[in-house]
């Protein structure tokens, strides 16, 4: 356990510390977060520790990725608890930008995305990825890590960031970390805290129904038929709405609907339960040729 975690609140101190480490030949892995950390974030941190000699984690609840009416104000802010968890993991530095220092009063720049950022989440949260791209660009420019780690739970976010970094020539390797789940298969999320007992029971069916859908496709079921069955199953399990259950190619996120799968794919789903929007995804293999 490393007792020397450093909490940094200004860009100047952050850059100074990174500069110092670089001078000693250190490599830097970065894990951006919005705080309210759970075991899922810690798996990203542990992966970061394996990949570089220094680990930086940021905690910033980014206003530009919340739409009006979303839970920006209510989003859990538990700095002390987060820092204690990061300290126990041996993180070197936690960057917690001071209020107002990320977007100053003159901030006017926006990022417009295309390709992998279109459809799926964007069809339901039109400004979400613009906000994510903006904050991730700013954070990467401040931290200037060698690698940055993002969870595969936000699969489209990961694909969007990979594209962003490549398109904007940022010399940073983006690494995806596998989804951390509870023992019932529910993908860990800071918003799982919002569920009561019944909500949790319903939420835990998401992964089961998604996997059954994937299995049907792997056994040769028509993609659209499998998706329709899964949508009905989610609604009868108690989800109040299904935003999407889609099959895409794993890298370009091109739509692969209709017919039987003939290549590897990713199944992505978003559904609502007790006012919480859950997302999940899994790999799907094409049926074996007989």
State the DSSP string of 37-64: --HHHHHHHHHHHHH-SEEEEEE---GG
DSSP lists the bridge partners of residue 277 as 272
Please identify which residue in 8, 32, 93, 176 interacts with ligand PAF, judged by CB under 6 A. Answer: 32
Tokens at 42, concatenated: 């810690």
Interface stretch with ligand PAF, choices 2-10, 22-30, 129-137, 179-187 (CB under 6 A): 129-137
Of 41, 106, 107, 184, which residue is the catalytic one?
41
- Dihedral, CA of residue 122, residue 126, residue 127 and residue 132, to nearest 10: -10
Please identify which residue in 135, 148, 202, 247 interacts with ligand PAF, judged by CB under 6 A. Answer: 135
Please identify which residue in 14, 48, 102, 132 interacts with ligand PAF, judged by CB under 6 A. Answer: 132
Q: Is 191 exposed, middle or buried (0-12, 13-18, 19+ CB in 10 A)?
A: middle
**233 sits near ligand PAF (criterion: CB under 6 A):** no
Please report, as residue ranges, which positions from 239 to 278 form the binding site for ligand PAF (by CB under 6 A): none
Q: How far apart are CA 277 and CA 194, in angstroms?
A: 11
Cβ proximity to ligand PAF, 96 vs 215, nearer residue:
96
Interface stretch with ligand PAF, choices 4-12, 29-37, 117-125, 209-217 (CB under 6 A): 29-37
Site size for ligand PAF, by CB under 6 A? 10
- 124 is a catalytic site residue: no
Cβ proximity to ligand PAF, 157 vs 231, nearer residue:
157
Give the x-and-dash track for 153-172 against ligand PAF (CB under 6 A).
-x--x---------------
**189 sits near ligand PAF (criterion: CB under 6 A):** no
**33 sits near ligand PAF (criterion: CB under 6 A):** yes
Please identify which residue in 136, 203, 256, 278 interacts with ligand PAF, judged by CB under 6 A. Answer: 136
Interface stretch with ligand PAF, choices 19-27, 80-88, 132-140, 262-270 (CB under 6 A): 132-140
Cβ proximity to ligand PAF, 177 vs 261, nearer residue:
177
Cβ proximity to ligand PAF, 32 vs 186, nearer residue:
32
Query: Does residue 94 contact residue 58 with C-beta atoms inside 8 Å?
Result: yes
Cβ proximity to ligand PAF, 32 vs 97, nearer residue:
32
Count of CB atoms situated within 10 Å of the CB of 235: 13
Contacts of range 195-202, beta carbons closer than 8 Å, 24 or more positions apart: 195/273, 195/274, 195/276, 196/274, 198/238, 198/274, 199/273, 199/274, 199/276, 201/238, 202/237, 202/238, 202/239, 202/273, 202/274
Q: How far apart are CA 266 and CA 155, in angstroms?
A: 9
DSSP lists the bridge partners of residue 220 as none
Give the x-and-dash track for 190-229 against ligand PAF (CB under 6 A).
----------------------------------------
> Rounded to whole angstroms, what are the CA distances from 253 to 115, 165, 185?
8, 17, 24
Q: At what angle do helices 39-51 and 79-88 cross, to 10 degrees?
A: 40
> Is beta strand 173-177 parallel, antiparallel or unpaired with respect to 241-248?
unpaired
**Minimum distance, C-beta of residue 163 to ligand PAF, in the bound complex (Å):** 14
Residues with catalytic function: 41
Contact positions vs ligand PAF (CB under 6 A): 32-34, 62, 65, 132, 135-136, 154, 157
């Amino acid at each position: 356990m490393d007792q020397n975690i450093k909490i940094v609140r200004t860009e100047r101190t952050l850059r100074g510390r990174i500069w110092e480490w670089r001078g000693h030949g250190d490599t830097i892995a970065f894990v951006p977060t919005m705080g309210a950390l759970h075991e899922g974030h810690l798996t990203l941190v542990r992966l970061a520790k394996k990949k570089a000699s220094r680990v930086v984690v940021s905690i910033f609840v980014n206003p530009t990725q919340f739409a009006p009416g979303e839970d920006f104000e209510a989003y859990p802010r538990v700095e002390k608890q987060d820092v204690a968890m990061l300290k126990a993991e041996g993180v070197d530095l936690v960057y917690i930008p001071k209020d107002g220092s990320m977007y100053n009063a003159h901030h006017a720049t926006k990022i417009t995305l295309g390709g992998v950022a279109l459809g799926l989440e964007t069809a339901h949260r039109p400004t979400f990825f613009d906000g994510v791209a903006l904050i991730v660009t700013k954070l990467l420019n401040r931290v200037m890590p060698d690698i940055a780690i993002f969870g595969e739970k936000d699969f489209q976010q990961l694909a969007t960031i990979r594209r962003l970094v490549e398109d904007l020539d940022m010399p940073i390797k983006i690494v995806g970390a596998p989804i951390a789940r509870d023992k019932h298969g529910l993908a860990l999320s800071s918003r799982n805290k919002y569920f009561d007992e019944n909500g949790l029971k319903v939420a835990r069916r998401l992964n089961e129904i998604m996997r059954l859908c994937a299995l049907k496709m792997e056994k040769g079921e028509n993609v659209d038929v499998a998706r329709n069955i899964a949508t009905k199953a989610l609604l009868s399990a108690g989800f109040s709405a299904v935003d999407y259950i889609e099959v895409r190619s794993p890298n370009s996120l091109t739509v692969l609907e209709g017919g039987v799968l003939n290549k590897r794919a990713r199944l992505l789903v978003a559904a609502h339960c007790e006012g919480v929007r859950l997302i999940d995804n899994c790999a799907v293999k094409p049926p074996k040729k007989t």
